[in-house]
Structure formats: C-alpha cells, structure tokens
Amino acid sequence: MKFSVLASGSSGNSLYVETENTRLLVDAGLSGKQLGQRLAQIGVKAESLTAILVSHEHIDHVKGLGVMARRYQLPIYLNEATHQHLPSSVGDIPSSLVHFMETGASLSIADIGIESIAISHDAAEPMGFRFFEKEESLAIVTDLGYVNEKIIRALEGVHSLIWESNHDVNMLRMGSYPWNVKRRILGDTGHLSNEDSAAALQEIVQGIGEQVFLAHLSQDNNLLELAHLTVKNVLKEAGLHVGTDIKLHETYPDRATSLQEVKIKTTIASA
Ligand SMILES: [Zn+2]
Ligand SMILES: [Zn+2]
C-alpha cells in the first residue's frame, strides 16, 4: 500500500491511498484543478482514481468533491449525515455515485479494506479511516477535539498514521483569533493540540517503526518545529525514540508529500 498526503491544513486536505487495484482519495479539500496538480506531483492521473471517501463536510475537506466526482464519475463514500450537510457549493452529485458508509462500519473496495472511526468534531458525523491491504495498515485521523479509548483501540498496531497536531495551546491563547473561535478550537469538538496529539501517540505507537505524519497544522497557531519537538519529547518520556522506534514526517498545505510505502518492520524494536 502506498500513500501521499496531497494537502494538509485549514486551507485544504486530501490523502491519496493506492493498492495494486485501487486508488482512493480521502477528502477532496482543494479545487479540482489543484487536486489534479497534486496528483501529478506524485505521478498519478486523476482519471485513474477509483473512489473518494469523505471524513466530514467542512469545506477544507470537500471543496473539490463535486467537481472530482462529476468529472471522473467517481463513486463517493460517506455517512448519511455528512451527505445531508454537504455545502451547496459542492453542487449536485448523481445519486448513482453516492455510497453510504455507516460510522464505525467496515467495507471493502476491490483489494482494500476500510474501517471508519467515530471522532468528535463540530461537524455532522465526522469519521477517521483505517485501511488494510494484506498485513499492512494505514490510518488517517484529523479534525478531532479529543482522543478517547475507542480511537486508540481502533488504531492498535497501525503501521502508518496521519495524525492531527493542530495547534500550540499557548500560541492559540495569545494569538489574534476572536475568543469564540479560540474556544471552538480548544473545545471537545475542535482540534487536537500538539500536547494532546503527543499524549495520544504515546498510547498508540508501539515503537515498531511506525511512520507518523503530523497533519492539519494551524498556519497561525503552530510551528512545524514546535509540533515535532512536543511529540518527540513526550514519546521520549515513554522510552520511544523518534528516528529509530518511530519515524516522524511532515505534511504540507501547499504541496504533496512524496509517495510513501507502508512499511512493516520485521524485527521488534529493543526495549
Ligand atoms: Zn479540517
Ligand atoms: Zn473540520
């Protein structure tokens, strides 16, 4: 299984996932044109896509959904609540292309297994996703206010993880956002802070060489170095060393990450 984070952040989100017979997008939060360009950056033609999965209806996740679905006749997979709340700017998507996927349910598209994971965020019914191909698994969980046991269990043993590290709490508190926006971001249905992101990773990661991509970083209330340092330090306290036990990667608002392969480590990391 291969993947590339095509875009990450409040200006747009999309993940590309590829197996031998399947090519998926998770969210389509850029314009159709931009999505085509990001796919081209990793050598993929938009015409070759199989389907689009939708995590929730916020515009930074669905901006190009309608265009992509109509242009390439792509089936879309989402839950009913998200479908009902799609912004009108997405436009009409023929019902023949709409497939409902219940939150918490599993399904297969060709050779890829998919599990959806319920998360808490100020959207109708937001979901994260975990993908399986043979022994390999990849998950994406962003746009969540807090992490519960269920999410941690759903991510057990994952090899590659795209995981939110949205803001630094102090930068957000002292920054220029209006108080109601700050309260929204900090709340249970907002976004994960670097600290909360790191604390959850400490429970999820086993030190088996997982690839963790810190995602959905705020451009106003976070710094890449700060997010990475916070995670690094928290994991260190748990005896996990970034670089050896786990690999920490960046994601970008303005370009795709290189195409990555989900790697399974064959040897167990020493304690
Ligand atoms: Zn978002
Ligand atoms: Zn959102």
Taking CA atoms, 9 is separated from 59, 98, 195, in Å, by 12, 26, 18
Maximum C-alpha span of the chain: 54
**Shortest-distance ligand to the CA of residue 164:** 1
pLDDT confidence bin for 266, thresholds 50/70/90 = low
Q: Is residue 268 part of a domain?
A: no
Residue 267 falls within a domain, yes or no?
no
In tens, the pLDDT along 123-175 reads: 999 999 999 999 999 999 999 999 999 999 999 999 999 999 999 999 999 99
Give pLDDT tens digits for 194-209. 999 999 999 999 999 9
The residues pairing with 51 across neighbouring beta strands, listed in sequence order, are 24
The mean pLDDT value for 8-19 works out to 97
What's the average model confidence in pLDDT over 214-227?
Answer: 96
Could you tell me if residue 271 is inside a domain? Answer: no
Distance 268 CA to ligand 2 centre (A): 36
Q: Where in the sequence is the domain holding 78, given as residue range(s)?
A: 2-261
User: Which residues are in the CB-under-5-Å shell of ion ligand 2?
Assistant: 58, 143
CATH of the domain at 125: 3.60.15.10
CA distance 129 to 82: 15
Ligand 2 center–CA 38 separation, angstroms:
21
In a domain, 256, yes or no: yes
Q: What span, in angstroms and rounded, lies between the C-alpha atoms of 162 and 175? A: 26
Residue 77, pLDDT > 60, answer: yes
Res. 28: pLDDT tops 80: yes
Per-residue pLDDT tens for 49-71? 999 999 999 999 999 999 999 99
Ligand 1 geometric centre to CA of 138 (Å): 19
Confidence (pLDDT) at 263: 82
How far does the centroid of ligand 2 lie from the alpha carbon of residue 13, in Å? 10
CA of 234 to the centre of ligand 2 (A): 26
pLDDT band with cut points at 50, 70 and 90 for residue 16: very high
Q: What is the pTM of this model?
A: 0.96
Across 12-17, average pLDDT: 98
Q: 60 C-alpha to center of ligand 2: Å?
A: 7
Complete DSSP assignment for 18-87: E-SS-EEEE---S-HHHHHHHHHHTT--GGG--EEE-S---HHHHTTHHHHHHHHT--EEE-HHHHHT--
- pLDDT on residue 268: 52
Q: How confident is the model at residue 84 (pLDDT cuts 50, 70, 90)?
A: very high
67 in Cβ contact with 78 (< 8 Å) = no
| pLDDT above 70: percentage of residues in the chain | 98
Ligand whose nearest atom lies closest to the CA of 14: 1
CB-based contacts of 268, cutoff 8 Å, min separation 6: 208
171 Cα to the center of ligand 2, angstroms = 20
Our count of domains for the chain comes to 1
Residue 266 lies in a domain: no
- Within a domain: 20: yes
Measure 239 CA to ligand 1 centroid, in angstroms: 31
Q: How does residue 264 score in pLDDT terms, banded at 50, 70 and 90?
A: confident
Interval between CA 27 and ligand 1 midpoint (Å): 10
Instruction: Give 57 Cα–ligand 1 centroid separation in angstroms.
Output: 9
* Reported confidence tier of residue 75, pLDDT bands at 50, 70, 90: very high
Of 23-27, 186-190, 235-239, 264-268, the least confident: 264-268
Average pLDDT, the chain: 95
The per-residue pLDDT for 83 is 98
270, part of any domain = no
Residue 236 within any structural domain of the chain: yes
